[in-house]
């Protein structure tokens, strides 16, 4: 997952709203989002190579999403970052208890957002202490929370506008579909070649070997009902399929 924007208690009827793009190599085996056969309580995609998930939510409202930290040449972690989300979604600990117990050194660089209905927490193993988030709009890509990358600033600003249109989800998907490349003078310097910095500067990443494979919008109402809509894509940004899952109270 390379872009997550979250509205936490920023709308009177929807305490949790998430708009997220997962960017990955198309060759990596993946199961698109759905209710998990082995844990029917959970909605999310599945990474079929290392296990785990990049984003998911349970029927009871436990939410988790993870991104990697872009650090070329860094060693691979002992455990898959997708296990961070899976273990929280399938567990019973509060968000605060869970982040306090993570062995940060077991993973390559990550950003983790988890929520348990009563609180939303952020943690990273790259210099940011775990913290509970106050109501507001937050964004994370492949650096720390709310890093001022152009695509993140744009997505957060537009998220604030899109919340006013709920329950219409189209404006949220419009944000996630933005494929505009940032001018070179505004690009962050993350250690990858300039060609890749340009490619990755877009909210929606499009190329043949690598790109945005899933755009996801999640909403939870004040009475606990959940909607989870995902659109999946192939090489070059080709639209593949769309699915909508929901739960009652």
Query: pLDDT per residue over 52-95, tens digit each?
Result: 999 999 999 999 999 999 988 788 888 999 999 999 999 999 99
Bridge partners of 6, per DSSP, are 18, 138
* Residue 50 pLDDT greater than 90, yes or no: no
Give every CB contact of residue 130 below 8 A, 6+ residues apart in sequence.
99, 100, 121, 122, 123
- Note the pLDDT of residue 194: 95
Q: Residue 90 class from Cβ within 10 Å (0-12 exposed, 13-18 middle, 19+ buried)?
A: middle
Whose tokens are 């909403």? That residue is 219
Cβ neighbours of residue 96 closer than 8 Å, sequence gap 6 or more: 119, 121, 132
**Residue 188 domain boundaries:** 3-247
Tokens of 207: 């190329």
CA distances from 105 to 50, 80, 141, 144 (A): 18, 12, 21, 17
Q: What is the pLDDT of residues 192-216, one digit of tens each?
A: 999 999 999 999 999 999 999 999 9
What's 78's domain CATH number? 3.60.60.10
Give residues with Cβ within 8 angstroms of 226, minimum separation 6: 43, 57, 59, 61, 218, 219, 220, 246, 247
**pLDDT at 1 (0 to 100):** 61
Token code pair at residue 206: 């499009």
pLDDT at 127: 81
Sequence-ordered list of residues with C-beta below 8 angstroms from that of 71, at least 6 positions apart, any chain? 108, 109, 126, 190, 191
- Does residue 167 contact residue 34 with C-beta atoms inside 8 Å? no
Which residues neighbour 193 within 8 Å (Cβ) at sequence distance 6 or greater? none
The total number of structural domains that make up the chain: 1
Q: CA angle 21-88-159, nearest 5°?
A: 30
Average pLDDT (158-172) is 96
Residue 249 confidence (pLDDT) above 80: no
- List the strands of the sheet with 63-68, edge to edge: 30-35, 42-47, 55-58, 63-68, 110-115, 120-124, 131-132
**What is the dihedral sign for C-alpha 24, 85, 230, 187?**
negative
Q: What is the mean pLDDT of the chain?
A: 95
């Amino acid at each position: 997952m390379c872009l997550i924007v979250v509205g936490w208690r920023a709308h009177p009827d929807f305490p949790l709203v998430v708009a997220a793009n997962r960017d990955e190599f198309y060759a990596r085996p993946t199961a698109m989002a759905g209710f998990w056969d082995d844990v029917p309580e959970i909605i999310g995609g599945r990474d079929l190579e290392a296990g785990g998930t990049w984003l998911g939510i349970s029927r009871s409202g436990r939410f988790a999403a993870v991104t990697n930290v872009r650090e070329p040449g860094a060693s691979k972690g002992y455990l898959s970052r997708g296990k961070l989300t899976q273990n929280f979604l399938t567990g019973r600990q509060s968000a605060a208890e869970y982040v306090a117990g993570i062995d940060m050194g077991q993973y390559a660089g990550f950003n983790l957002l988890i929520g348990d209905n009563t609180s939303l927490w952020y943690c990273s193993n790259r210099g940011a202490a775990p913290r509970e988030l106050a109501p507001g709009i937050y964004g994370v890509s492949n650096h720390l929370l709310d890093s001022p990358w152009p695509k993140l600033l744009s997505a957060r600003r537009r998220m604030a506008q899109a919340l006013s249109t709920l329950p219409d989800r189209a404006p949220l998907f419009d944000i996630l579909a933005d494929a505009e490349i940032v001018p070179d003078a505004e690009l962050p310097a993350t250690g990858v070649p300039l060609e890749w910095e340009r490619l990755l500067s877009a909210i929606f990443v499009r190329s043949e070997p690598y790109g945005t494979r899933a755009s996801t919008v999640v909403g939870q109402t004040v009475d606990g009902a959940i909607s989870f809509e995902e659109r999946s894509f192939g090489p070059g940004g080709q639209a593949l399929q769309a699915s909508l899952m929901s739960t009652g109270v």
